Every structure is written in C-alpha cells, then in structure tokens.
Amino acid sequence: MASRPAVRIRAPGAVLVHHDCMLLTRLAEVSREVAATAARSRKTALLAELFREAEADDVPIVIPYLAGRLPQGRLGVGWKVLGRSVPPAAGPSLTVREVDARLTELGKVSGPGSQAERTRIVGELMGAATGDEQRFLLGLLTGEVRQGALDAVAVEGLARATGADPADVRRAVMLAGSLQTVAQALLADGPGALERFRLTVGRPVLPMLAHSASSVAEAVDRLGACAVEEKLDGIRVQVHRDGDTVRIHTRTLDDITDRLPEVSAAARRLPGERFILDGEVISFDAGGRPRSFQETAGRVGSRTDVAKAAAAVPVSPVFFDVLSVDGRDLLDLPLAERHARLTRLVPEPMRVRRTVASGAADIPEAERFLADTLARGHEGVVVKALDAPYSAGRRGASWLKVKPVHTLDLVVLAAEWGHGRRTGKLSNLHLGARDRDGAFTMLGKTFKGMTDAMLTWQTERLRELAVEDSGWGVRVRPELVVEIAYDGLQRSSRYPAGVTLRFARVIRYREDKRPEEADTVEALLAAHPEVGP
DNA sequence: TTCCGACAGTGGGGTCGCAAT
DNA sequence: ATTGCGACCCCACTATCGGAA
C-alpha cells in the first residue's frame, strides 16, 4: 500500500481533483450512472473509464466494488447492523482505500459484544459518507447494487480499459476463479499478463453449469450425439489432488476440504498423482439409496464436529468430469475424450452412471435411463453433447438438465410487495392447499414465473381481494386459484403441514377454477410418500 | 431483420454456527 | 436453552441487450 495520506476534500461541491487515491464519491457516481443507462455498451464504457483512472493500489478495491462484490467476501453485516440510519456527511471525503480498511477491520470483529462493535464501525463509516455514498455502500454491503452490471460487464470494461481481448479476460477470470486477481495483473502488466492464468492443480476454476430442457427427447434433439448422465441431488465439488495434498471446493469455490475427510481419502486412493475432478458429493443410506438433499447439505455444512457428522451421515464423491491429469489441461478436449480419461482414473462405483445416445434413434433408451434413474431415487439426468469442451464458468448450451416437474392448483392466501424493479407490484405469493376443514394450509411462497403483465394483473386483482393491508403486503380472501410447478416436497419446520414445495413457480392463473377445486394437502402428501411430515 | 445466448434481477427454503436474549 | 441473523448450499424464471444468423 502507498504511504501517502488519503486525500480529504471537505468543502461540498469542491472540484474532485486527486492523483493519489480514488474517492468513494466517484464510485458512487459511476454506479449511479451505470444504473441509469440500459445500454450495456454504455455501462461498459463507464466502467472502463473508471478503471483507467484507478491507481494500482486502488484496483483490487475498485474492481470488485464496481462488480458489486466486496474483496473481503461477506462480512457478517446485514440489515440488523445496517438498519439504523446515520446522518450523512456534508461533503465527500472517503477514499476507497479508507473504506476498504474499515471493512477489513469490520470483518475481523468476533466474539461477545461483536454486534455492537460492528454497529459502531458501520455507523462511523456511514457517518463519514454523503447520502449518495451511503446508498452505494448499503447496496454493496447487502449485495444489492442493482446497477445492471456485475462481473460480466466489469470484465468487458476491464478489457476495454486495457486493450485486452474480452474473451481472453473472461477465460483468465474463469481459470483464476477470481476477477480481482486478473484485474490486478492486467492493469499492472497489460494484456500479456493474461497468459499467466492457466489451469493449475490446487487453484479452483469456475465450474461449468447446465441449462434446462423439458424432456430427454428435446435435449437429445438439441444436442445430437450425447451422454445422458444421472443427476445426483447433492453438493457440487471440484477435487484437486497434488500428491498427498487434496483440496475440495464448492460451486462458488469455497474451500470445504476440512469438512469432507472421506472425500479426501477417496481422492488419495485414485491411481493418479495430480488431477482435477468435477463431481457431486452425496450421502447414501444403508440400502444404497440417496438420502434427501437436506440430509446431505446438512452434513456438508457441519464444521464443528466433523467426525461425528461423518459417522452419522457419511458422504461419497461421485465424479462426472476430469479437467486436468498429470499436468495436462483437458478443458478444450471434447467430453468424449475427457470421459475416456476419467474412466482410467476413477473406478466405476465412483463415477456417475450414464448412457450414450448417438441421436434421435436412441431417445427411447435415454428415456428408459431417466426412468431408471428416478426409480433409484435420483433427481433426473443431465444430457451433455459429446463434442463439447468444458466451458468453465459458463452456463453452456451443451449441458441440459432434465427433471420431472409436478404441478398443483393452489390458492393465493396473501402477497408481498416486491422490491427493485417490482416496487409497487404485489410479487411474492403465499400459497395454500385445501385441508380437511375446507380451510387452506400454507405450503410456501413463490415470486417466480410471472411476466410483467401477470404482475400488473395480479397486483390489481389481489388488491380487490384484500382483507388486510399491512406494510409488507396484503392478505386476501382465498379465492384466486393458481397453477404451480414444483420439483418435489421437502420437510419443513416453518409451515404447518410439515412440508413445503421445492422451487415453486407460477405457470398460470386458473380463473376457470374455484378454490373448492384446489388440490388438497392430503393428496399432495399421498403423491410424495418419500417425504413424511 | 429476426433470433437467440448471456446476464442481471427477483427472490424461494433449508441448515449450520454464532451472538444475543 | 432458545431465538434471530447471516452465510452458503440448492434453485426457476423473465426481461433485456447486442451479436449471430
């Protein structure tokens, strides 16, 4: 860090000329401008301009801030701490480095009395910020910047600021697993620095993601020759082994090595010294059936007594891809070749089950595979083009997941006011099923699946049905029937039926149906015998 | 000119761990 | 001991921009 003192400009309206440290007010200004324009090209240009202004020491702060993230990651600061408002400062004085230093301090606070201490630090910071700066900081700390530009636009802006090829920057970010690292190297050494970012064992890369398809037939039609793999309902993991050292990362690249000793042990038993594997961690019961996602996730989330958790709910790694073997980067190889290498490294029981479909003629076989996979208790399948490379960090169109969808006709019991672009619209619906008394039992909420037109319509309709208007939304007469899609039931301690819908979303309103025709809790439970209340 | 891929936004539920009550 | 909060797992879907076709 530079030893020069922070520039302080006290007079409101002073001309913000500075050569040392970037002022927070400049970031807040750019963020506001970015939010105000819809054109992505203009957003990119605004970010690029700011990145060019940034000093070397500002870069690791400015880049993540404008990408809507904190360099420290999350800080244990939420609405509880941010809730109280603090009178804003008269004029801008904060530098981004000063803000960063205070947030770093904030992240270190722990132990009894920490909440008060965090509140004090946040209050002090907010008190030194102008109204605009406060709004920017609030968005940053709560993860809701709402400027319509996060990582992807920041990458574009970075490319433009440095003259690098955007595709090269994107790839470097995927391989580094971090925008900051790449940004710093790029701004310090220019586009040539991008070559330093290669796939490295021990350094996690962003995993490839999948799109959805509504059926196996549709997926095979779209992809042609493909692998159909079982989709396990567990936690995605990337396992790196370098000799005796094993590291395990989640989808967001968090390091969870210490929580999964049996996975590390399994990786050490494989016949290879250096590799990177992609797969899923899941728990099977004594009969070899997969346990619920809730059980697996609870186990993987346990940190305090790992040995005890592992004894109660042991997990197994099940792999489906290999990204690197013995120093060779396999990302650009087609899936067919990567899989051939996977079979040499990982024995069958530790691999995802699969079948291969060469084209439309194999659709019946692929459908049988899906049915069999579901019968064995799994979530569905992922259909993958055999000729596709591993697109790190992308939601490539070459992986398509297919899961069964259930539907119900439920009754709207209440609706909550939306935020952001849904401000002024009733958005989040409370959903109820009929119970034995002819009343309705709440099963969960959803805000998904509505078009803007539906939002407008339901806001008006639900207002007509309102029996109570509170700050958060309205409770309504239970008269409106809505068709809901969901992925299954899960146990719940929050809702009275002891279960709730997983991934509920609206398909359409059923104005042709009366609430007495809505589905019942009883029928729902009967349809999902695997989930007892 | 039209189509479609990629992104951002809008939140859902559960579980764990920590601090406050 | 219980409760509340934040982080981090899982996630679906729509609107929009801008390059591809």
Q: Give, as ranges, the nucleotides of chain B with any atom within 7 Å of a protein CB.
A: 5-20
Average pLDDT of A208-226? Answer: 94
Is residue A500's beta carbon less than 7 angstroms from any atom in nucleic acid strand B? yes
Inter-residue contact A331 to A396 (CB < 8 Å): no
Distance A110 CA to C6 C1' (A): 13
Examine the pLDDT at A140 and tell me if it is beyond 80.
yes
Q: Kindly report which amino acid residue has its CA closest to the C1' atom of nucleotide C6.
A: A76
Which pair of structure tokens corresponds to residue A12? 């409101």
Examine the pLDDT at A86 and tell me if it is beyond 70.
yes
Examine the pLDDT at A253 and tell me if it is beyond 90.
yes
Residue A18 is predicted with a pLDDT of: 46
Tens of pLDDT along A264-292? Answer: 999 999 999 999 999 999 999 999 999 99
| Residue A146, marked binder | no
Distance A320 CA to B14 C1' (A): 26
Average pLDDT of A43-57? Answer: 93
Residue A531 is predicted with a pLDDT of: 84
Name the residues in A431-450 having a C-beta closer than 7 Å to nucleic acid strand C. 448-450
Band of residue A76 on the pLDDT scale cut at 50, 70, 90: confident
| Residue A222, marked binder | no
Distance A164 CA to B15 C1' (A): 43
Name the residues in A376-395 having a C-beta closer than 7 Å to nucleic acid strand B. 394-395
Examine the pLDDT at A396 and tell me if it is beyond 90.
no
Is residue A495's beta carbon less than 7 angstroms from any atom in nucleic acid strand B? yes
| Residue A229, marked binder | yes
Buried b (16+ CB within 10 A) or exposed e, A206-228: bbbebeebebbeebbeebebbbb
Distance A112 CA to B18 C1' (A): 9
Average pLDDT of A168-192? Answer: 93
At A367 the three-state DSSP class reads: helix
Instruction: Write A415-424 long-range contacts (CB < 8 A, 24+).
Output: A415/A458, A415/A462, A415/A473, A415/A474, A415/A476, A416/A445, A416/A472, A416/A473, A417/A472, A417/A473, A418/A447, A418/A455, A420/A144, A420/A146, A422/A447, A422/A455, A424/A459
Average pLDDT of A133-137? Answer: 95
Distance A502 CA to C10 C1' (A): 10
CA dist., res. A411 & res. A70, Å (int): 41
Nucleotide nearest to A255 (CA to C1'): C8
Q: At what angle do helices A24-36 and A40-53 cross, to 10 degrees?
A: 170
Distance A174 CA to C20 C1' (A): 24
A400 by Cβ neighbours in 10 Å (0-12 / 13-18 / 19+) ranks as buried
> Given A43, A231, A425, A445, which residue is catalytic?
A231
Examine the pLDDT at A6 and tell me if it is beyond 80.
no
Is residue A327's beta carbon less than 7 angstroms from any atom in nucleic acid strand B? no
Is residue A166's beta carbon less than 7 angstroms from any atom in nucleic acid strand C? no
CA dist., res. A186 & res. A468, Å (int): 56
Closest CA to A226 of A354, A61, A341: A354
| Residue A468, marked binder | no
| Residue A530, marked binder | no
Is residue A400's beta carbon less than 7 angstroms from any atom in nucleic acid strand C? no
Examine the pLDDT at A5 and tell me if it is beyond 50.
no
Tens of pLDDT along A92-122? Answer: 999 999 999 999 999 999 999 999 999 999 9
Nucleotide nearest to A35 (CA to C1'): B8
Is residue A83's beta carbon less than 7 angstroms from any atom in nucleic acid strand B? no
Is A231 known to be catalytic? Answer: yes
Average pLDDT of A326-333? Answer: 95
Which pair of structure tokens corresponds to residue A419? 């935020």
Q: Give, as ranges, the nucleotides of chain C with any atom within 7 Å of a protein CB.
A: 4-19
Is the whole-model pTM more than 0.85? yes
Band of residue A15 on the pLDDT scale cut at 50, 70, 90: very low
Work out the mean pLDDT of chain A and round it to a whole number: 93
| Residue A251, marked binder | yes
Inter-residue contact A125 to A102 (CB < 8 Å): yes
Average pLDDT of A440-455? Answer: 96
Band of residue A19 on the pLDDT scale cut at 50, 70, 90: low
Ramachandran angles phi, psi of A419, nearest 5° = -120, 170
Lowest mean pLDDT among A3-7, A187-191, A236-240, A434-438: A3-7
Three-state helix/strand/coil letters over A410-428: EEEEEEEECCHHHCCCEEE
Is residue A505's beta carbon less than 7 angstroms from any atom in nucleic acid strand C? yes
Inter-residue contact A318 to A279 (CB < 8 Å): yes
Nucleotide nearest to A142 (CA to C1'): C6
Band of residue A16 on the pLDDT scale cut at 50, 70, 90: very low
Distance of CA A259 to the CA centre of its chain: 21
Residue A213 is predicted with a pLDDT of: 94
Distance A484 CA to B1 C1' (A): 37
Residue A394 is predicted with a pLDDT of: 76
Inter-residue contact A130 to A89 (CB < 8 Å): yes
Is residue A147's beta carbon less than 7 angstroms from any atom in nucleic acid strand B? yes
Nucleotide nearest to A237 (CA to C1'): C9
